[in-house]
Structure 1
Amino acid sequence: MFQFMTTSRIIFGEGALQSSLSVLNQFGYSVLLVTGKDLSRSQVITRYLKSQNMRYQHISVTSEPNITMVEESAVVARRFKPDMVVAMGGGSVLDMGKALAAMVTNTGDLYDYVEVVGRNVPIKAEPVPMIAIPTTASTGAEVTKNAVLKSGQDKVKVSLRSPDILPNVAIVDPTLTYGTDPGTSGRGAMDAFTHLMEAYVCGEPNPLTDMICEEGLRRLSRSILPGCRQDNPRARADLSFAAMLGGMAITNAKLGAAHGLASALGGKISAPHSVITARLAPFVMRENMRAAKQNGRNDLLTRYRKISQLLTEDSDAQMEDGIEWVNQMLDKLEIPTLSYYGLCDTAFDVVAQDALKSVAIQGNPLPLTEDRLVEVLNQVCYCPVNQASSDRTRRGDLSEMH
């Protein structure tokens, strides 16, 4: 038995934003507008709101959201009393928008509702309607049921998770990703890959998410380089679609050790989430393959081989070819290594212990011990692939707000 949930209404295609703004009118006239630091991107929305005599309060997200940031913004939002939240930006902006939509109607401490470090109490009141408009092809947050937040005091990333925070509407317009620099596009595409890959091999796959993951991997592999390097309409549309499918997959299947370790590392080093998961992915893939061989899990090995075939577009590809493809993309897209962000200075045993507490790692297809997770971190730190070329990308360019 399985169930499937996603955003109630999805509007996808070139020009979708301009042609579908009237959907806002069905939710009221008072808008909490959440955007990234580039305010010019949201002008099409503010012009429309003014033309409709709709009032709005603007909140700008300039860094990955944390619990304190959400609580402070929620005070402003409750005072404004919005009829809806419209979030336009990258994954961090959409997560902030989903969290605020929930906290406008659910008072109290946000730690009451977040998992792992909080009480994980279900939200009681229905969130205000939320419209998600992604400007990057990355997390698929427009169709996920969680908002990823940093907990500064615990030095981990956690989620506010509930089916109730699935956006009411997702407007996915690939043209909004045009002009995105290759670095941001590359990190986003690899984030989408990690979602699709981990959901496909997780401990609780289902036929519907399998189909979604296979199509997402197929589109991503054929379009990742042309889509990240130039504004190729077909390739950009493929990446936006693959990212959205990745979001659907992780909402209805599970994740794995790459995301479990990323949740632990996210509060300890300053690397973007997409960089962490991308750099962990090939090492976690290899570790899971090792464990699968040791435990006679031929079904899991078959799934990894299928991933390789989809990525390489070669029906004869073997499992290891998928890892090689990932490493080639990390190099060609110049994804920074984690050692650049100080991974080697962290306490690997603490990271592994925190990872084992995460929700994500519970979906790993095979249980991994603390010792094995420490070994994965050692490999990431001391055996990075193509370190010299990947570290050409500088930390100051790594914005995911947009």
Structure 2
Amino acid sequence: MTFTFRTAGQVLVGPGVSAQVPALAAQHGARTLVVCGYHTDPGQGPLGRLADPTVVRWSGEPTVEGVSAAVESARAAHPDVVIGWGGGSVIDLAKAVGVLLHSDRGVLDHLEVIGAGLPLPSTSVPVIAVPTTAGTGAEVTANAPVLSAEHGVKASLRSPAMLPAAAVVDPELTLSCPPDVTASSGLDALTQCLEPLTSVKANPISDALAREGLARAAAGLRRAGADGSDLAARTDMSLAALLSGMALANAKLGAVHGLAAPLGGMTGAAHGRLCAAVLAATTEVNVRALRERDPESRALARYAEAARILTGDPTAGPDDAVAWLRETVSLLRVPPLGALGLASDDHERAADAAMAASSMAGNPVRLTRDEVLEILDHSS
């Protein structure tokens, strides 16, 4: 077996480690660009100790226009380092800005699918990624999904250069995360452990990360959803998200993300919410398809292993994993696809787009179009 493992240049984890961000930034230079959400006050906390940073605020999924505007602001500031302080979308925007600062071309020139797909530069302005949600693992991934309203598609900028110079994972920053974001981001992290574990591109390192990530999600997800002030649960979920990012960056994902990508372009809904909405139905259809078409598949054993981790029952099988996921989605009040903006008339178009999505290549079984439509119907 031959494989490559990549992650952020440095990973700091634990309550309070975000206090080290100013010192980390100073290692790269004095000029700092901060990308953050509108609920973050860059004049307070560790960010308040930076010397006159340039601030770019962002909310929602990165868009072609938003990335272009942020890059223009960054070029005027000539930063030595970019700090992405926020949820996965904020960190993705920061990574996109960092690498595009070393390019003389625009976003669409490098964007996959809807753009020219030209290679990105091999280097980036150093990025320090500081997640304030526990979900995407964007702090240790080498891509940034970008939404194009014009095309109704979410495509990616992708390059090893986009791996952050440092990932600073401080669970204290997630304590104020609202219940709906806790639920959707946490289920996204869980998905990003389950899919690499069952992926056709799984490897021993991604397996170890995915298993520990699932265990952390099993321990922390429902507790964090019930009590956002539970620091132990928040720590479990921050670790689950971090481990999920490492796992997905080094093994393929699957049909949940294959569906979430086009659904994001069609609805504009947050990525984590879409993953959460289709997770249980996709797992159920995958298990059934494997039993029907590849009953000796290693993936069936992996689904059984995931069930044992999630439920704590040493006798659990794949169907128990489906039941646990369905119950968790219900407990966390995840809205169905219909409530997220997907009309029933759009199911055919969504299925066609999902069939062509790159994440489908990692799914443990090739799903038929009818099976993808079944997932959409059962998730709506």
Q: Structure 1-normalised TM-score?
A: 0.91
Match of 1:30 in 2: 31
Match of 1:6 in 2: 7
- In the TM superposition, 1:3-402 aligns within 5 A as 3-40=4-41, 43-50=44-51, 55-228=52-225, 229-298=227-296, 299-381=298-380
Cα 1:75–1:238 change in 2 (3 A) is same
Q: CA deviation at 1:46?
A: 3.4
- Once structures 1 and 2 are overlaid, which stretch shifts more, 173-182 or 241-250? 173-182
- Counterpart-to-counterpart distance in 1, 2:110 and 2:358: 14
- Counterpart-to-counterpart distance in 2, 1:283 and 1:333: 16
Contact 1:35–1:42 (CA under 8 A) maintained in structure 2:
no
- Once structures 1 and 2 are overlaid, which stretch shifts more, 232-241 or 134-143? 232-241
Contact 1:157–1:266 (CA under 8 A) maintained in structure 2:
yes
Cα 1:127–1:328 change in 2 (3 A) is same
Give aligned-pair identity as a percent.
Answer: 34
Q: What letter matches 1:373 in structure 2? A: V
Contact 1:106–1:125 (CA under 8 A) maintained in structure 2:
no
- Once structures 1 and 2 are overlaid, which stretch shifts more, 256-265 or 36-45? 36-45
- Once structures 1 and 2 are overlaid, which stretch shifts more, 263-272 or 24-33? 263-272
Number of residue pairs matched?
377
Q: What letter matches 1:239 in structure 2? A: M
Cα 1:42–1:132 change in 2 (3 A) is farther
RMSD, matched Cα: 1.4
Q: CA deviation at 1:275?
A: 1.0
Contact 2:20–2:46 (CA under 8 A) maintained in structure 1:
no
- Once structures 1 and 2 are overlaid, which stretch shifts more, 295-304 or 138-147? 295-304
Q: CA deviation at 1:258?
A: 0.9
Q: CA deviation at 1:234?
A: 1.6
- Counterpart-to-counterpart distance in 2, 1:236 and 1:46: 22
Query: Could you list the per-position Cα deviations for residues 88-136 of structure 1 after superposition, in whole angstroms to 9, with x for gaps in the alignment?
Result: 0000100010011111111212122121222222113511000000011
Q: CA deviation at 1:316?
A: 0.6
Cα 1:357–1:117 change in 2 (3 A) is farther
Q: Which runs of 5+ in 2 are unaligned?
A: none
SS of the residue aligned with 1:367? coil
SS of the residue aligned with 2:333? coil
Contact 2:145–2:155 (CA under 8 A) maintained in structure 1:
yes
Q: What letter matches 1:319 in structure 2? A: P
SS of the residue aligned with 2:130? strand
- Counterpart-to-counterpart distance in 2, 1:315 and 1:41: 48
Q: CA deviation at 1:41?
A: 6.4
- Counterpart-to-counterpart distance in 2, 1:230 and 1:72: 34
Query: Could you list the per-position Cα deviations for residues 31-87 of structure 1 after superposition, in whole angstroms to 9, with x for gaps in the alignment?
Result: 11100011336622332113xxxx421000022111111012211111111111101
Q: Which runs of 5+ in 1 are unaligned?
A: 382-402
Contact 1:7–1:167 (CA under 8 A) maintained in structure 2:
yes
Q: CA deviation at 1:20?
A: 4.7
Q: What letter matches 2:218 in structure 1? A: S
- Once structures 1 and 2 are overlaid, which stretch shifts more, 178-187 or 345-354? 345-354
